[in-house]
Amino acid sequence: MGIPPFWTHSGVCHSDLDIMTNSWHGLPPTPEEQIGGHEGVGHIVRLGPGAETSGLGIGDRVGVKWVASACGNCEPCYAGLDNMCFNQKVSGYYTPGTFQQYLLRPAAYVTRIPDEVESVQAAPLLCAGLTVYSALKRSTAIPGQWVVISGAGGGLGHLAVQIASKGLGLRVIGIDHGQKADFVKKLGAEHFVDITKFPLDDNGEAISNFVKSLTEDLGAHSVIVCTAANIAYSQGLRFLRYGGSLVCVGLPAGAQKPIATASPSFMVSKQLRILGSAVENRVDATEVLNFAARGIVKVHVREEQMDGLSAIFQDMREGKLIGRAVINLS
């Protein structure tokens, strides 16, 4: 039941860079000449056999996500965790992605885009927005509680700040490089912490003491690590108060390192939790787009043509990219 949309916009994710350069150790290499991209928006130009009963029609504006398709027949799929499907196809990795004008997708795995959301806004929400929304839900933080967003000015983090503060009623502490302070505060963060003002060789002691001073000397209820830096994990665990949760989102490139501060005695004495949060499911996609339709979240977009993709990747490598980049394919 496939449908080929004409693609107009594709977000650019750090994962696209990592997939292209085979930077995630332990995963199979990316096929040569694969087409990247996994967060795109376009219009349906044809319905394949069986798709006529999907409720979708020619001209409908839809989006695709990281999970290009799932089997529907494995244990995770039966449990409603299609994002964990054992047989899933991933856009831009082993399935051609969204850095092109036409592609084929199963009708069940495209998401209808609300009229109120522009395509240039919708594209990044289909990966970055869904990813951080899922992470915030897994943190179990409730309105009025403190959440630290590590990498708060980046593509993932700037959406996490908005969803947490404006959509979920959480009190946000954003952590990033100092030049992003004003940007992060305007998004809804109550406090900003400049990561460059603290030592990197003390297992996060100095910065954690500062974070605790902002939270009644107790620490945050949850930490969402959006940045792809090993040190953010070792520091982040120390930001937590008793019973707190560290949610792992950003995947560091190269060799994976254990979280240095996660000693059994520390974890047990404070009853801490470490949770992984991988991509999204179809329900989350609808909910995040609804946030955007209601004006709760807005993507800070740098829009480029396809010939600007290399420059975007270079800025990603150097940590210069603020917000999210989108390729205009129309």
d(CA 232, CA 43): 39
- For Cα atoms 20, 23, 28, give the angle at the middle one, nearest 5 degrees: 80
Q: Nearest Cα to 266, choosing from 208, 192, 201?
A: 208
Give the count of alpha carbons within 13 A of 213, CB side only.
8
d(CA 293, CA 277): 25
The bridge status of strand 40-44 relative to strand 5-12 is antiparallel
Dihedral sign for Cα atoms in the order 193, 194, 197, 202: positive
At residue 2, the pLDDT reads: 58
Stretches where the chain sits below pLDDT 50 are 1
d(CA 138, CA 150): 16
Give the count of alpha carbons within 13 A of 110, CB side only.
31
At residue 254, the pLDDT reads: 75
Domain boundaries, the chain: 7-126+280-328, 129-276
Q: Nearest Cα to 138, choosing from 281, 235, 270, 14?
A: 281
d(CA 46, CA 261): 53
- 324 to each of 109, 258, 264, how far by Cα in Å? 23, 29, 37
The CATH superfamily of 7-126+280-328 is: Medium-chain alcohol dehydrogenases, catalytic domain (3.90.180.10)
100-119 burial string, b = 16+ CB within 10 Å, else e? beebebbbebbbebeeebeb
d(CA 248, CA 234): 11
Average pLDDT, the chain: 93
Six-digit token string for 274? 């470490």
Of the CATH numbers 3.40.50.720, 3.40.50.300, 3.40.50.2300, 3.10.150.10, which one belongs to the domain with range 129-276?
Answer: 3.40.50.720
